[in-house]
Amino acid sequence: MKKFIAYSLLVITIGCSSDSPMTPKQPTVDLGIPSTTMNINSVSSPITSGPYSVTLSLTSGAAYSLQLTHIDGTILHNYGFTATSSTMTIPLDYSNIPNGAYDLVLMDNTGRLLKVAVIIQH
């Protein structure tokens, strides 16, 4: 009986150890350096039929996301990228998005976000 209890404690200890091979490793995501600059300088037009471009001021090396969202919060298009320079022009194609009014949301790796309105008319 003592051997059984000792064996059980050993199994439980190994099974509950954080170094156990059964513990899944969490993937790490590199978000780059923390963003200190984030601005939407210009957009090609508030109304588009498909092609759309956004000029941004960013922190080079930081991760960002541009999301086109519906008024109910549904994400219709997502473009994630790492800034390669302090000013970037990002081309986007919304030709497959239905007509309507949307928000284009720029989010940085610190959680800040900016929104601009986008009206799509085909």
Side-by-side strand order, sheet with 63-69: 47-48, 113-120, 100-108, 63-69, 75-82
99 part of a folded domain: yes
Q: What is the pLDDT of residue 47?
A: 84
Residue 49 lies in a domain: yes
CA distance linking residue 59 with residue 36, whole number of Å: 6
> Is 6 a domain residue?
no
- 102 and 76 Cβ atoms separated by less than 8 Å: yes
Q: Confirm whether 24 is domain-assigned.
A: no
pLDDT digits (tens, 9 = 90+) for 108-121: 999 999 999 999 99
Instruction: Give residue 46's pLDDT.
Output: 80
Residue 83 included in any domain: yes
Q: Is the pLDDT of residue 30 over 90?
A: no
Structural domain harbouring 72: 38-120
Decide if pLDDT at 77 tops 60: yes
Assigned domain for 61 exists? yes
Calculate the average pLDDT of the chain. Answer: 84
What is the amino acid identity at position 77?
A: H
Per-residue confidence (pLDDT) for residue 45, from 0 to 100: 86
**Total domains in the fold of the chain:** 1
In a domain, 69, yes or no: yes
Q: Is residue 12 part of a domain?
A: no
Q: What is the mean pLDDT of residues 11-19?
A: 56
Question: Which CATH number covers residue 67?
Answer: 2.60.40.1930
Query: At 53, is the pLDDT very low, low, confident or very high (cuts 50, 70, 90)?
Result: very high
Whether the CB-CB separation of 62 and 32 falls below 8 Å is answered with yes
